[in-house]
Structure 1
């Protein structure tokens, strides 16, 4: 008999479990879109250094749950901060992901669940939560999991959140210390000159969006954001947004010189 091991940490799906080499998640309205995204990436053989960067989708089980490949390794949020070389590698990986998704043709009836959509819109289907708590680091493979927040976005909006969380840009940061790793991350991705000029504003706006999500949750009672607000998460995201916005010109200078 298969043994179910409950997994923790997600914000969207209830009771995610591991069974052997698979993960099972309740199927929700947006699951079909997620399945299409992961099937596309698998079909594109999307990989850097020959290693797939997303879990494989494996259909549904007899309980109707979404079945995914279990990815062994360690979540990045439990590891030391990334080195400059590792941030450059992460930038390349995210660039490859975005390039692979540029040829994705979404199902016409797909429902999406982006929690902080780009207010300007966008037609690139992005992960939406590229963060260390969704990055599994193995000996020879780095894999982003938890694609429930995938949806229409833009490269800079998705990349801005990734930079804030992965570099990371903390409220207590020092711009002279944070600028070089941010530059390495952006160099790895390969932004052009005009994109580098625009990127710091997108980074700050996306970080502000995370704070506003928590405030709305507090005001409306929407979960899990109301609980996250009560647990003090807004006390991080508000100052983080202020830090990113305050040093806009320094970020631009670091990225173009």
Structure 2
């Protein structure tokens, strides 16, 4: 959403559903910090991996997140895993659109593995 020349918000309806605020915020962190698989975000032009800690906590602070940030890491990984499972389930059910998205499911699963490798200190605000 734009206000004049300024981006003031965005709406992503692809995975819309009745989620908790942590679940929605987890997807935002996955895609905008970004915590997605390295090869995915490098292809999009992001290479400042050392800045992800600052970006994550800036996002959480700006959002007013007061939850357990260590547990938030688990939420990000679980959100990515559930999205991958959703794609796979529908692809296996014969839905062509989701068959086309199978490489995206693989990328999400790689993101989960990379998120799980982050040190505990990544999730805790200094």
TM-score normalised by L of structure 1: 0.40
Q: How many residues align?
A: 118
Name the SS for the 2:18 alignment partner.
Answer: strand
Judging changes above 3 Å, is the alpha-carbon distance between structure 1 residues 218 and 138 closer, same or farther for their aligned structure 2 residues?
farther
What is the RMSD of the two structures over their aligned residues, measured on CA atoms?
Answer: 2.6
Q: Distance in 2 between matches of 1:169 and 1:221?
A: 30
- Greater strand content: 1
The alpha-carbon deviation at position 141 of structure 1 amounts to 3.9
| Structure 1 segments unaligned to the other structure (5+ residues) | 1-52, 54-72, 74-136
Larger radius of gyration: 1
Q: Distance in 1 between matches of 2:118 and 2:48?
A: 10
Counterpart of 2:78 (choices 205, 222, 225) is 205
1:247 equivalent to 2:118? Answer: yes
Q: Aligned residue for 1:188?
A: 62
Name the SS for the 2:68 alignment partner.
Answer: helix
State the Cα deviation string for residues 220-239 of structure 1 (Å, max 9, x = none): 2234212211xx22231110
The alpha-carbon deviation at position 184 of structure 1 amounts to 1.0
1:152 equivalent to 2:18? Answer: yes
Name the SS for the 2:31 alignment partner.
Answer: helix
TM-score normalised by L of structure 2: 0.75
Higher-RCO chain (CA-CA 8 Å, sequence separation at least 6): 2
Judging changes above 3 Å, is the alpha-carbon distance between structure 1 residues 244 and 174 closer, same or farther for their aligned structure 2 residues?
farther
Alignment of 1:1-257 (within 5 A): 139-145=5-11, 147=13, 149-172=15-38, 176-192=50-66, 194-229=67-102, 232-247=103-118, 249-253=120-124, 256-257=125-126
Q: Aligned residue for 1:17?
A: none
The alpha-carbon deviation at position 250 of structure 1 amounts to 3.3
- Greater helix content: 2
Residues 91, 97 of structure 2: 8 Å contact kept: no
Q: Distance in 1 between matches of 2:53 and 2:112?
A: 16
Q: Distance in 2 between matches of 1:216 and 1:151?
A: 17
